Amino acid sequence: MSTPGTRFGPGARRGASEICAAATALLLLAGCSGGGAAGAGSSLRPRQEASQPPSPSGAGARRIPGVGERLHSEIPESARQVVAVRGAGKDSEDATVALYTRRGETWTRERRWPAHNGKRGWTPDHRENDKRSPVGVFTLSDAGGVLPDPGTKLPYTRSAAFAAPRHWPERYRHDFDYVIAIDYNRLRGTSPGDPTRPLGREKGGGIWLHMDHGSGTSGCVSLSRAAMEYLLRTLDPAQHPVIVMGDRQSLAS
């Protein structure tokens, strides 16, 4: 799955003055976590958020484990960092996120974390408000959040406009303290809060990596704060990072 502007270089670092608070608030409501509507009763291992170091199963592979030829062929040759999101099932909100680094011809798993995806699972044809995460390969080029830049090389927009609406339940309040935009139906080189949708509003948007509240999202992928900080500090535009994401069956096909 590809989108306009997916493989161009990153934009310059932006200040908070460049983000439109009203547009961002609209995006948060229509795009990512969807307020208090997230599913309950997740089977995610409770708070096993500490990252897992590299293991023999993730070291020295010539291709990323669990990713079939179809999606592996969509990973750009220039990419040296891949965030792999494996959903537990087509209709499941539970997932695992792993960071792989390419050295020569081999991929090594650097870290792995439990995560959540869309509360209704996954789809190869994401639509606005379908509560499913899009399957595919996308670049990672822009970041931001409520909190100060933790030391990322990605262009980072800090703004209070990222804050979740106050009427959301308290456990959702910090979802957007850190976000990394997934380049699905968006313009690269802009704040994650930019509402532009090159493929049209009906194709959805506002698909991010962001902080976890313990259950499924409206299409984003959510991780612990420690995981988000690690990714923000590790992902490097010079390494052309991408994300490959989907349920296990879709990834392997």
The pLDDT > 70 percentage for the chain reads: 76
**119-157 tens-digit pLDDT:** 999 999 999 999 999 999 999 999 999 999 999 999 999
Which DSSP string corresponds to 38-91?
Answer: --S---S-TT--SPBPP-GGGSSBSS-TT--HHHHTTS-TT--EEEEEEESSTT
Residues in contact with 245: Cβ distance below 8 Å, sequence separation at least 6, in sequence order: 83, 84, 85, 87, 117, 133, 134, 135, 136, 137, 138, 182, 221, 251
pTM given for the model: 0.82
- Look at 240 and 4; give whichever has higher pLDDT: 240
The pLDDT > 90 percentage for the chain reads: 74
| Residue 28: pLDDT band with limits 50, 70, 90 | low
Q: Mean pLDDT, the chain, as a whole number?
A: 84
For residue 16, give both structure tokens. Answer: 């908070």
Q: Tell me the CA distances in angstroms from 198 to 6, 66, 201, 238, one per residue in order.
A: 11, 31, 8, 25
pLDDT of residue 60: 63
> Is the pLDDT assigned to residue 177 strictly greater than 90?
yes
- Look at 15 and 45; give whichever has higher pLDDT: 15
pLDDT of residue 16: 38
pLDDT of residue 61: 82
- Residue 6 to residue 8: CA distance in whole angstroms: 6
- Identify the bridge partners of residue 116 per DSSP, sorted by sequence position: 94, 222
For residue 241, how far is the Cα from the chain centroid?
12
Alpha helices in the chain (DSSP H): 21-30, 69-72, 225-234, 248-252
For residue 112, give both structure tokens. Answer: 């792995």
pLDDT of residue 163: 95
pLDDT of residue 115: 98
